[in-house]
Amino acid sequence: MKRVDDFRLRFGKKELVPIVVGGMGVDISTAELALETARLGGIGHISDALVMDVSDRRFDTSFVKDKTRLYKYNIDNSDKSGVKFDLGHLAEATRLHVGKTMEAKQGEGMIFVNCMEKLTMNGPTETLRVRLASSLDAGVDGITLSAGLHLGSFALMEDHPRFRDAKLGIIVSSVRALQIFLRKNARLNRLPDFVVIEGPLAGGHLGFGMDWAQYDLHTIVAEIAAWLKAEQLSIPLIAAGGIFTGSDAVAFLENGSAAVQVATRFTVTNECGLPADTKQEYFKAAEDEIEVNTISPTGYPMRMLKSSPAIGSGIRPGCESYGYLLDGKGNCAYITSYNREVAAHPNDKNISVMDKTCLCTHMRNFKCWTCGHYTYRLKDTSRKLADGSYQMLSAEHVFRDYQFSVNQEILLPA
């Protein structure tokens, strides 16, 4: 009976344990989690979501405070078109976050940055270019392009000296999305080094509509593998979403996947950036407490715990401090919903906004509890303690369990 450790992900002559830990923002996939994954021979992700805030927390910079002070005059103004990111500060924050992580890397594994196209930042092209280039400048092993088709992202990097050196990949949820990406970038003569195929059971934003339950990851992987074979293209495929055990992973590795990407089980590890009390919420969650809703301003459906404090919150938009989801004209779906509720309840001190959420502020404060479909199974991966809480796990414990387990078994902590 095969184990994950019987397989290897190959990038040229480099061989890796075929386990990728997904890039959960905002600093949920911490540098510590990515470093531990790389030490163990896999691929760890950090995310560049709200990177200036992450830098402030990790390196005592003051990017958010400085931006807030600069645009303080605009806080009560619903027009956010003038609230811009300082591109120099964005580059510095990215180089700090990525560079310091790379400096600390040990072991034979790799560290990638998860880069979300939907973080449009009131300047979609220029801010994305800076984020990508700064990550490459800082020596990151690779970049995973997520939350969007990224049709122009390769072009934004083509003049960078590491464009053909770093490992560059794209997350898709259908063969059509991959076809569009490859067709758009054909002139660059530069294929992606890997493709993450994210299925409908993944955590956070989904690449599906509210009909997500009609889709199946095994089917999508098989369709993409067959199309690549017909086109005589050799690109490693990484299956993601709902892979809860080592045996689940082996099922994909035996059927064409070069690796698997996992995240849910790492949310309750010591190295994960979630607060301890939030990790307990994940442990205790029941199946009926997990929902897919449409409150994200990005327009993508999002899976989360129903008890997330972000749901129904009517906080004032924090764009002067954050504003990562402002489009190129300073608009955000949450601002529209917030202004509607303020107009409808002019005398109410506290309002509730049910259809959208201020994703930047709530993710920054760990109040938007996004999760994978199988989060309700986390309680089966640990031990319940005398006080009713669950024992926290180490990232190494979870990684090794994926790597060596068989027969759908889950190794409990000592």
Q: DSSP characters for 162-217? A: TTTTSEEEEEESSHHHHHHHHHHTGGGT---SEEEEE-TT-SEE-SS-TTGGG--H
pLDDT of residue 90: 98
User: How far, in Å, CA of 8 to CA of 263, rounded?
Assistant: 19
Structure tokens at 293: 């809703």
Peptide bond into 26 cis (omega under 30): yes
Helix, strand, coil percentages, rounded to 5, for the chain: 40, 15, 45
Nearest to 54 by CA among 32, 80, 39, 22: 32
Instruction: Count other C-beta atoms under 10 Å from residue 16's C-beta.
Output: 20
pLDDT of residue 31: 98
- CB-based contacts of 409, cutoff 8 Å, min separation 6: 245, 246, 247
Beta strands in 36-156 (DSSP E): 43-47, 110-116, 142-146
Q: Three-state SS for 54?
A: helix
pLDDT digits (tens, 9 = 90+) for 68-123: 999 999 999 999 999 999 999 999 999 999 999 999 999 999 999 999 999 999 99
User: How far, in Å, CA of 257 to CA of 196, rounded?
Assistant: 10
What integer is the mean pLDDT of 321-326?
98
Instruction: Count other C-beta atoms under 10 Å from residue 312's C-beta.
Output: 13
User: How far, in Å, CA of 391 to CA of 393, rounded?
Assistant: 6
pLDDT of residue 160: 98
- CB-based contacts of 195, cutoff 8 Å, min separation 6: 169, 170, 171, 172, 178, 224, 235, 236, 237, 238
The answer to whether the beta carbons of residues 162 and 134 sit under 8 Å apart is no
User: How far, in Å, CA of 18 to CA of 69, rounded?
Assistant: 45
DSSP H/E element including 19: strand 19-21
What integer is the mean pLDDT of 5-32?
96
pLDDT of residue 11: 95
pLDDT of residue 131: 98
DSSP H/E element including 284: helix 276-284
Structure tokens at 57: 């927390």
pLDDT digits (tens, 9 = 90+) for 259-303: 999 999 999 999 999 999 999 999 999 999 999 999 999 999 999
What is the end-to-end Cα distance of the chain in Å, rounded? 25
pLDDT of residue 311: 98
pLDDT of residue 54: 98
How does residue 166 score in pLDDT terms, banded at 50, 70 and 90? very high
pLDDT of residue 92: 98
How does residue 18 score in pLDDT terms, banded at 50, 70 and 90? very high
Return phi, psi of residue 183, to 5°. Answer: -65, -40
User: How far, in Å, CA of 34 to CA of 37, rounded?
Assistant: 5
User: How far, in Å, CA of 42 to CA of 16, rounded?
Assistant: 6
Q: Three-state SS for 242?
A: coil
Return phi, psi of residue 400, to 5°. Answer: -65, -35
Per-residue CA distances from 281 to 210, 212, 231 (Å): 25, 25, 46
Mean pLDDT of the chain: 97
pLDDT digits (tens, 9 = 90+) for 47-57: 999 999 999 99
Nearest to 204 by CA among 284, 308, 276, 104: 308
Global pTM?
0.97
Residue 350 DSSP one-character state: S
pLDDT digits (tens, 9 = 90+) for 126-155: 999 999 999 999 999 999 999 999 999 999
Q: Helices in 293-358 by DSSP H: which ranges? A: 333-344
Matching residue, tokens 């103004």:
77
